[in-house]
Structure 1
Amino acid sequence: MPGADDGEIRSLVTSMTTNEKVALVSGQGLWRTAAIERLGIDSILMTDGTYGVRYSTTQIDAGTGDEESLAAFLDLINQQADDKGGMFGTTRPATCFPNGNLVGCSWDVDLLYRMGVALALECRSLGIHLLLGPGINTRRTPLAGRAYEYYSEDPVINGDLAAALISGLQDNGIGASLKHFACNNSEIERTTTSSDVDERALREIYLAGFERAILKSPPWTVMSAYNPVNGVQASENQWLLKHILRDEWGYDGLVLSDWHAIKDRPASLEAGTDLDMPESKPRKARLLLAIEDGKVADDILDRACERVIELARRCHANKMPAAPVDLDHHHALAQQIAAESIVLLRNEQQTLPLDAAAISEILVVGDGALVPTIQGSGSATTNPYRVDSPFTRIAARAGEHLKVRHVPFPTAGRAPTENETRAVVDAATTADAIIVFTENEKSRNGEGNDRDTLKLAAGHDRLIRSLAGAGRKVIVVLTMPDAVEMSWLDATQAVLACFYPGQGGGEAIARVLFGEQNPCGKLTTTMPVRIEEIPGWHTYPGENGRHVYSEGIFVGYRFYDLKAVTPLFAFGHGLSYTTFSYESMVLDRQEIGPSMGCAASVTIRNIGTVAGKEIVQLYVRPVKPGLRRPIRELKVFAKVELQPGEAKVVTLTLSARDFQYFDTARGTWVLDAEAFIIEAAASSRDIRLESRLACRSERFPPAALSALSPPALVFANELAIPALTELLARKLRISGEEAIAILEKLNGSFLGFYDTLSWYVGDAINEADITALFDTLNRRTERISA
């Protein structure tokens, strides 16, 4: 019954039995909502993931009982991406797009929208209504097991890219599920360890990306996280789900749990988790018992039922005809996205691009060049329709005068022998360029595990140093979930960061190596020199069930700026085969005030010889802010394509919120600074242009006064000195000048105002007089502020 109004849905819920209501808010099996045939309430089908559609034939087509469902779920979570066993054998082929860790480096909302469209088409062909993504948790540590699914350490990128993907999905009839709300930043004891985060960091960093995405493109659902937040399970957290998500942000879609995340179903329902996934007979029984005991309010249960029905109606009302999907076309899109996201970290003496006509031999090293790691491990893992072999795609560029050879070198499972290392060095003797495919050490990697090292696979560091030490021209191609240590960096000529590039990664790498694609990706996280430099390292991963986010608001590049630490590679870093000149920046105003925004017009020119794309990053640097703030913060960005010699003016708009911070004492966002420096940059450490913007701060009512307030706080209230002068003059029978002289003596005291005053006037003025005066001042201040 698509199009039914709210009244009809409420009538449906009223006619449901309690058992039907419990079934409706509890899911059916692993991947469906419950259907109630007698009332015409249809089921919907959902599945993972964030970068590809995972359709399990055994879990979806055949259906399973409770015991089999749990076993299948646990097998899925524990499956390794490079394990070609059970999961891929029972999962339909689909396009494995670049993972979040690489696609985030595109900084390209149009590409993310196109990716969303493609995912929607594949969902429609499989009868899926809701895709469980995108995931946008902040990458606060590169060790996090699910870092590969997420875009960035910065909420601006997280929010904008997520909104684009959501729009691509939902414009084409498939619902999105924005996840994991919130602070799902570690896989260690992930359902029990509390993410303890101060409110300001929550507001400015960890919730901001969700808020931004919901504002730009509201998802049909939001998924709560496994972990507790400040001691309360995310799925049962009323502050998160009611106060923030519903009341402040006005979100009116459905909230569902992560799979088996709910520990107390009645509490989660009370907090605002509408749908418990997947179906669990024990949780349904506990909810039914709580309802019968009167511990769950009828209106709360009914509203959750209404939202489930609303979602089902929306999914079926927006359902578009299923059509055969051109997976070859989607593969080409996956190749393009990867090619535009790969980051050129280093390129000495213009080693890249390779000129097939100018060199005679290339040596490709590493098992990863033949069988690449294209994705991370866990619930998002996709069965790729096809996979491009990097070596095959590189060899395809060989011609009559160019020879491409491969030598094996293990990427996982065992440490290579010295003989294997020597064999590679010997094989490189005649090569003009050596391309080394290397990966991170895979111990404890993927969903359910955090990495415990940033090192490469065993023997790879030694191999790279050996090749460089022998005078070879070394090009390193990195596959990794997040940052890795690079002790050999200065000895290499070029380095590509490919993260997890998806099924088209092999072709994308070849295009970049040979200059068919001018690299235009830029890092969306900061890469540390060594593991100990990770922000919050000293409190990671927590203890006694608590993980304190000790860096507060200073996440990622904000921490490195604050501590004046030089990272291995800065946030926003990425090289090109051309050069861009930032020529001028003009602001549309010279002063910012409350509720005001600002537009910056940046002129940028391609002064190189080939076409390319530059990512213009606009940072805001506060001058003398009211509270301590990061030195600079990304607020907006744009990707611009330029032909050789071409210049364009890029206009970037800053909102009023972009100049504010969250003041926990006032419980609101405030504007308070002397000025702001607007910076146009190529990275957080490569500032090209800047302009000063004066600030007219908000006026805030002074703090309430009491007899215990220190003199400095009292004198900060402009009403206080005239009133105190009159009181002293009257009570002490002295002149106004004499009264002011007494007040001046109080300056600098850390004691309470009355205690300090009594040293000079004794009992001539009693504490009740001061209290009465301050009460009057407080009331006057409140009236003026109102």
Structure 2
Amino acid sequence: MKSSGSAGRGALVRSLSLPEKVALLTGASAFTLGSRESIGLGEVRVSDGPAGVRGATFSGGPTAVLLPNPTLLAAFWDEDAAAEAGRILAEEALARGVHVVLGPTVNLPRSPLGGRLFEAYSEDPLLTGKLAAAAVRAMQDLGVGAALKHLVANDSETARNTMSSELDEATLREVALLPFEIVVADADPWAIVAAYNRVNGTPATEHRELITGIVKGEWGYRGLVMSDWFAARSAGPAANAGLDLVMPGPRGPWGEALVGAVESGEVSEAVIDDHLGRLLLLAARVGALKDDTGADHLARADHLAGAPGSAARHTRSAVAPDSAARRAQLTRLAAQGMTVLVNENGTLPLDRARTVALIGRHAVETIGMGGGSAHVTPPYQVSVADGLRGALGDLVTVVDGVEVRSRPVPARGGFLTDGETGTSGVRVKLLSESGTELERRHAADATTTAGLDERYAEPVATVVLSAVITRSGTAELGVLGSGDWTVRIGDSESSFSLSTTGRNFGEELVVPPLSTGVHTVTAGTTFEASVRLGSGTDAFSAAGLFGLIGRPARRETVDVIDDAVRAAAGADVAVVVVGLTEEQETEGVDKSTLHLPGAQDALVEAVAGAARRTIVVVNAASPVIMPWRTRVDAVLWAGLPGQEAGHAIAAALLGNIEPAGRLVTTFPAEDGGSPAWSVTPVDGVLAYAEGRFAGYRGHDAGLAPAPAFWFGHGLGYTTWDYSDISYSSGSVAVTVTNTGPRAGREVVQIYFRPQDNAHPVRLMGWSAVSLPAGGSARVTVPTDPRMWRAWAGTWVPLGPGELIAARGLGDVRAALGRI
């Protein structure tokens, strides 16, 4: 059936009965939207992001590129780099038959305790909005939709599906909504995801003022607003508020209830028609609606994926995730955003002739991504040990570090192998209630999900995981997941039940319960566990993440530190890699402290006392407390660098790629040292008491102590001088000179500090320049007009103030007063 633009889509809508319309407004499965052959509507497939495109499943699936996390990408302060990452996501989506990627995330981490900070770009709304807009444009230029998330004030994870974010209108407009406004205006994202939380008491999915009043009304947004997974709570109120699509499906709060709401007069059928029209526009844009004028958007993707709207669009392969071209690209994207926080006496870059003691659990098990829905299965992950040994060979001695997790992870490093393939991992079997085998496969990461989709003829009732233990000795063995377990280790058998705490939504997937014990085992012993899934009716009670845990028993901390000290004393330089894990940086759980887990601080202190020179690499997206920062010679913040982590960190340490990053999040000096700190609701309410003064804005206003490292800080590998600042027609110009011994890249940051103390300092714009040693250039930085305004019931101009050129507000280089 042919259609012609919006009029044609309107005709398609009118051709359907009310129940048929409503049926399309709830997803068909966990990651698909419904199809309707009679109107030429094909299936639309969505996938989680933003660090990779897993495909239309929560776990498993084909291997996929694992990008550096958005916070690390953002640290390069470059729209072209954000767009490059967006193109990679689009290419991956095209290769996997995915039409819409759930991302980017433009929520602002008001507190550094936010567990999902690693998915966000920055604490600053302008930087976030401009980078996200670049990524969205790049994705959609290739015919893949972006779903901007999460609308709005979903800046922490604790009780996220019940809590209310309470913020005044000025804070909502100037801070929380601003990145969404920028992306809608500059990139027109094809979808927006409404959040779990309430906003000033009203569920985000039912917030008419936000969705219909501001987003669709004031901003003129014509795309689709969809619920986050299981976030929709009602039929009539959500539909009338402007929510267009409920996810996932096929069950949900709409269906017959929404049909009844229309028939009773609570919801106008015109509202339903508008929702469906927006869904059909999305389908047209991604090529799932036949012969619609949305095909012109897809013509730009032809060179990648065949004719617009055709099946060929979703079958042609992108660049292979493990190809040489992709490896080099991912290494560069990660390394260039890494940030030199401390560099005394030119310790970095590393001298290639020096011997190196490489120390730390994160050196041998480098973390490339955060936890939760951002998880993908990459073709490989390069550790720092592999990367640095590959570059320096026998000059590097590697020493494992102290324990960094309170919860053991599923089996790694070949301790458990699949008895059928002999490869590292486990064998997974999914069984129905009748005992029918629904699926049998290998799981390299020793985990699987079950009960989340409808792809089997019968529901999954039992998961069986089995492996062969490869090493004799004392081992920690256990299981992960909620349900009734039977565990067999050799000839011994035990049965028990595990259940979640019920404190956080989706625990079964994000932080499932576990049980472990210490066993003496012999190589070749069979380890098998089966679990019967729950039978409840809520979203996850009959589903979850399941796995086997297997590793050698833990060593005493004092012994580990003694080994590290001996290695450090015997080398020219010690490189200690510390950081966080998916326990702290994950969807579903917030942090309780910024201190490094385990005895990592003690490890750094001990090594610094023994080594000639000590370099610390921080493998984390979030700020961490560094009590040792004045007693080490260099600190490199490496973020979560993706699948090429080790190669990227080695390239940055050696200076093959300058780590030219500038911080996108303020690093407080101690716990509690931020303008906004607590992420724990009180009586269901999380009050944004800091108002517009979150992050660097509040530090500058004196609402919190001076941070350890300011937003925008970053040393790179050279030094810079600023002179001759001027302002004209909305742009600031300044002469920048590279005064150091190496070529480098500088990011000129322009801030405005209003004279009126009621309004915070704010980033107005930035420009980057690359210069050789001794080089000089006149750099012009346009300021964004949206930053010259304040909300007072309507947008009004800011009063006079001071323009600042800075390398972060801790290093102001030039200023112009009374602008």
CA 1:683–1:609: 2 relative to 1, 3 Å: same
- Superposed CA deviations along residues 31-65 of structure 1, whole A, max 9, x for unmatched, are 11111112222221111111210125xx4xxxxxx
Given that 1:46 and 1:128 are in contact with CA atoms closer than 8 Å, whether structure 2 keeps it comes out as yes
What residue in structure 1 maps to residue 286 of structure 2? 315
Residues in 2 aligned to 1:654 and 1:490: alpha-carbon distance in whole angstroms: 36
What residue in structure 2 maps to residue 782 of structure 1? none
Given that 1:438 and 1:457 are in contact with CA atoms closer than 8 Å, whether structure 2 keeps it comes out as no
Give yes or no for the alignment of 1:658 onto 2:797: no
Structure 1 residue 386 displacement after superposition: 2.4
Structure 1 residue 693 displacement after superposition: 4.3
What residue in structure 1 maps to residue 698 of structure 2? 559
CA 1:659–1:445: 2 relative to 1, 3 Å: closer
Number of aligned positions between the proteins: 644
Structure 1 residue 472 displacement after superposition: 3.7
Give yes or no for the alignment of 1:101 onto 2:227: no
CA 1:32–1:338: 2 relative to 1, 3 Å: same
- Paired letter, 2:132: A
- Superposed CA deviations along residues 526-553 of structure 1, whole A, max 9, x for unmatched, are 111111112223x541211111011000
Residues in 2 aligned to 1:416 and 1:629: alpha-carbon distance in whole angstroms: 52
Residues in 1 aligned to 2:2 and 2:603: alpha-carbon distance in whole angstroms: 62
**Of the two structures, which has the highest relative contact order with CA contacts closer than 8 Å and spacing of 6 or more?**
2
Which residue, out of 353, 356, 362, partners 2:356? 362
Task: Note the 1:589-628 alignment, pairs <5 A.
Answer: 598-623=730-755, 625=756, 628=758
**Identity percentage of aligned residues:** 36
- Paired letter, 2:276: C
Give yes or no for the alignment of 1:668 onto 2:661: no
Give yes or no for the alignment of 1:382 onto 2:376: yes
Give yes or no for the alignment of 1:689 onto 2:660: no
What residue in structure 1 maps to residue 12 of structure 2? 12
What residue in structure 2 maps to residue 629 of structure 1? 759
Given that 1:415 and 1:459 are in contact with CA atoms closer than 8 Å, whether structure 2 keeps it comes out as no
Task: Note the 1:270-289 alignment, pairs <5 A.
Answer: 270-283=240-253, 284-289=255-260
Residues in 1 aligned to 2:6 and 2:569: alpha-carbon distance in whole angstroms: 74
What residue in structure 2 maps to residue 114 of structure 1? 84
Which residue, out of 416, 420, 440, partners 2:580? 440
Task: Compare 8-17 and 278-287 and name the one that shifted more.
Answer: 278-287
Structure 1 residue 105 displacement after superposition: 0.9
Secondary structure, aligned partner of 1:184: coil
Structure 1 segments (4+ residues) deviating >4 Å: 413-416, 441-445
What residue in structure 2 maps to residue 738 of structure 1? none
Task: Compare 411-420 and 117-126 and name the one that shifted more.
Answer: 411-420
Secondary structure, aligned partner of 2:244: coil
- Unaligned 5+ residue runs, structure 1? 60-75, 77-86, 590-597, 695-786
Given that 2:674 and 2:705 are in contact with CA atoms closer than 8 Å, whether structure 1 keeps it comes out as no
Task: Note the 1:277-676 alignment, pairs <5 A.
Answer: 277-283=247-253, 284-316=255-287, 317=295, 318=298, 320=302, 321=305, 322=313, 323-326=316-319, 327=321, 328=323, 329-357=325-353, 359=354, 361-398=355-392, 403-409=395-401, 410-413=403-406, 416-440=556-580, 443=583, 445-537=585-677, 540-563=679-702, 565-588=705-728, 598-623=730-755, 625=756, 628-630=758-760, 632-663=761-792, 667-673=793-799, 675-676=800-801
- Superposed CA deviations along residues 734-757 of structure 1, whole A, max 9, x for unmatched, are xxxxxxxxxxxxxxxxxxxxxxxx
Give yes or no for the alignment of 1:235 onto 2:205: yes
Residues in 2 aligned to 1:503 and 1:379: alpha-carbon distance in whole angstroms: 17
- Paired letter, 1:653: P
Which residue, out of 257, 261, 265, partners 2:227? 257
Given that 1:441 and 1:458 are in contact with CA atoms closer than 8 Å, whether structure 2 keeps it comes out as no
- Paired letter, 1:417: T
Residues in 1 aligned to 2:281 and 2:719: alpha-carbon distance in whole angstroms: 52
What residue in structure 2 maps to residue 84 of structure 1? none
Which residue, out of 139, 147, 162, partners 1:192? 162
Structure 1 residue 393 displacement after superposition: 1.4
Residues in 1 aligned to 2:120 and 2:686: alpha-carbon distance in whole angstroms: 20
Secondary structure, aligned partner of 1:532: coil
What residue in structure 2 maps to residue 163 of structure 1? 133
Given that 2:370 and 2:581 are in contact with CA atoms closer than 8 Å, whether structure 1 keeps it comes out as no
Structure 1 residue 685 displacement after superposition: 1.6
Given that 1:138 and 1:152 are in contact with CA atoms closer than 8 Å, whether structure 2 keeps it comes out as yes
Residues in 2 aligned to 1:500 and 1:659: alpha-carbon distance in whole angstroms: 34
- Superposed CA deviations along residues 69-94 of structure 1, whole A, max 9, x for unmatched, are xxxxxxx4xxxxxxxxxx3xx22111
Residues in 1 aligned to 2:614 and 2:383: alpha-carbon distance in whole angstroms: 20
- Superposed CA deviations along residues 175-200 of structure 1, whole A, max 9, x for unmatched, are 11111110111111111100001111
- Superposed CA deviations along residues 677-705 of structure 1, whole A, max 9, x for unmatched, are 111111122111112344xxxxxxxxxxx
Given that 1:368 and 1:438 are in contact with CA atoms closer than 8 Å, whether structure 2 keeps it comes out as yes
CA 1:416–1:152: 2 relative to 1, 3 Å: farther
Structure 1 residue 415 displacement after superposition: 8.3
Secondary structure, aligned partner of 1:509: helix
Secondary structure, aligned partner of 1:533: coil
What residue in structure 1 maps to residue 429 of structure 2? none
Residues in 2 aligned to 1:388 and 1:690: alpha-carbon distance in whole angstroms: 44
Residues in 2 aligned to 1:155 and 1:42: alpha-carbon distance in whole angstroms: 37
- Superposed CA deviations along residues 133-188 of structure 1, whole A, max 9, x for unmatched, are 10010011111111110011100111011011001101111111111110111111
Given that 2:359 and 2:577 are in contact with CA atoms closer than 8 Å, whether structure 1 keeps it comes out as yes
Given that 2:332 and 2:657 are in contact with CA atoms closer than 8 Å, whether structure 1 keeps it comes out as no
Structure 1 residue 445 displacement after superposition: 4.3
Task: Compare 474-483 and 285-294 and name the one that shifted more.
Answer: 285-294
Given that 1:605 and 1:646 are in contact with CA atoms closer than 8 Å, whether structure 2 keeps it comes out as yes
- Unaligned 5+ residue runs, structure 2? 288-294, 306-312, 407-553
Residues in 2 aligned to 1:390 and 1:445: alpha-carbon distance in whole angstroms: 19
Residues in 2 aligned to 1:443 and 1:6: alpha-carbon distance in whole angstroms: 47
- Paired letter, 2:397: R
Structure 1 residue 471 displacement after superposition: 4.7
**Larger relative helix fraction:** 1
- Paired letter, 1:353: P
Residues in 2 aligned to 1:262 and 1:618: alpha-carbon distance in whole angstroms: 41
Secondary structure, aligned partner of 2:139: helix
Secondary structure, aligned partner of 1:449: coil
- Superposed CA deviations along residues 260-303 of structure 1, whole A, max 9, x for unmatched, are 11001321111111111111424223222222322211110111
Residues in 2 aligned to 1:3 and 1:351: alpha-carbon distance in whole angstroms: 65
Secondary structure, aligned partner of 2:183: helix
- State the structure with more CA Rg: 1
Residues in 2 aligned to 1:49 and 1:287: alpha-carbon distance in whole angstroms: 30
TM-score, length of structure 2 as denominator length: 0.77
Residues in 1 aligned to 2:642 and 2:615: alpha-carbon distance in whole angstroms: 21
- Superposed CA deviations along residues 405-457 of structure 1, whole A, max 9, x for unmatched, are 10111332468521221121122221011111112376554111111121112
RMSD over aligned Cα, in angstroms? 1.7
Residues in 2 aligned to 1:458 and 1:416: alpha-carbon distance in whole angstroms: 12
- Paired letter, 1:377: G
Given that 2:367 and 2:581 are in contact with CA atoms closer than 8 Å, whether structure 1 keeps it comes out as no
- Paired letter, 1:16: L
CA 1:282–1:670: 2 relative to 1, 3 Å: closer
CA 1:636–1:4: 2 relative to 1, 3 Å: same
